[in-house]
Amino acid sequence: MDTSVSVRNKERKMVEQTLTPEKTSVEKEGPPLSVRGLWEVFTSPTCFFDEIRQNPKVLVPLIAIAVTFSFFLYFTADIIAQTQIAEMRQKPNMPADQIPTVDSMKMYIWIFSAPVIILSPLIITALAMFWGNFVMAGKATFKQIFSVAVYGEYAFFVASLVVIPLIIAKGSMAVSLSPAILLSDQDITNPLWLALSKLSVFHILEFIIIAIGCQKIYLVSRNKGYLLSVLSMGLIALLHVITTAIGKLFT
């Protein structure tokens, strides 16, 4: 009797030992890395970009950017269209028959905003690779850095959704959670307003995420990661402000 009980106990233990690894492996698998990145880029970016270095992901975050950006435009396209039409009417040489309607302007906004989804992370990638690969003599592939850029842009667009109620309430796109709110001239064409708006909490979040990503991809110190982020995102921001200032001179 005791022998049969002992045999059954041994068999039970063998079955448990056999099943436990399988259960553990299933728990470890979970969602794919590209999907997990949609929240881990906020909650644990350091660990996430460690995995991205070995297995870069691009498609899922690009789709997430498209969805998020479309959601943003859905609520703000009317205000953007009205703002641009108002600027056209202020130009003395603009014929009245060439000023589009709000509906047609909204269509242009949707069409010409689409390249932003891919263009912005591409520019960040090009600049980061220039400074990281050629100036600092680091080693990183295009897909690795592009993965960092698209997840950084995704984080920016997701965070920016919080200003939608403020934009609708104010009826203007001149809404920014940055030092720009201290200016009396709340105008998106004002170079100073634009420069200060680049210090918004959303831009800072994107800057930190890209800095962590560059640090992990290039296997450099945290300071060098932040430097790469400054040299890439900072240059884009500077060019944006300069082009806006030049355009303001000719209006």
Query: Are 121 and 162 part of one and the same domain?
Result: yes
Separation between Cα atoms, residue 20 and residue 134, nearest integer Å:
49
Tell me the mean pLDDT in the region 136-141. 91
Q: Are residues 3 and 117 in the same domain?
A: no
User: Could you tell me if 121 and 167 lie in one domain?
Assistant: yes
Residue 105, token pair as written in the block: 């302007």
**In the predicted structure, residue 11 carries a pLDDT above the cut 90:** no
Both 24 and 145 in one domain: the answer is no
Domain containing 151: what range?
33-249
**Does 141 share its domain with 26?**
no
Both 113 and 223 in one domain: the answer is yes
Q: Are residues 1 and 115 in the same domain?
A: no
Sign of CA dihedral 143, 149, 155, 158: negative
Say whether pLDDT at 38 is over 50: yes
Q: Distance between CA atoms of 153 and 110, rounded to whole angstroms?
A: 18
What is the number of structural domains in the chain? Answer: 2
Q: Do 16 and 136 fall into the same domain?
A: no
For position 191, what pLDDT does the model report? 87
Running DSSP on this structure, what letter comes out for residue 190? -
Q: What is the pLDDT of residue 251?
A: 62
State the burial class of residue 232 (Cβ atoms within 10 Å of its Cβ: 0-12, 13-18, 19+): buried
Q: Do 156 and 216 share a structural domain?
A: yes
- Give the pLDDT confidence score for residue 225 in this predicted structure: 93
Same domain flag for 91 and 126: yes
Predicted confidence at residue 127, as pLDDT, reads 94
Token duo for residue 220: 């450099």
The runs of H, that is alpha helices, within the chain are 2-29, 33-43, 45-54, 59-90, 102-113, 116-129, 142-160, 164-170, 191-197, 201-218, 222-229, 235-249
Q: How confident is the model at residue 70 (pLDDT cuts 50, 70, 90)?
A: very high
What average pLDDT is seen over the chain?
A: 85
Pick the closest to residue 236 from 82, 116, 155, 142 (CA basis): 116
Q: Are residues 225 and 132 in the same domain?
A: yes
Lowest-confidence region among 11-15, 109-113, 175-179, 199-203: 11-15
**Are 142 and 231 members of one domain?**
yes
Q: Which two tokens stand for residue 235?
A: 């240059």
- The whole-angstrom separation of Cα 203 and Cα 200 is 5
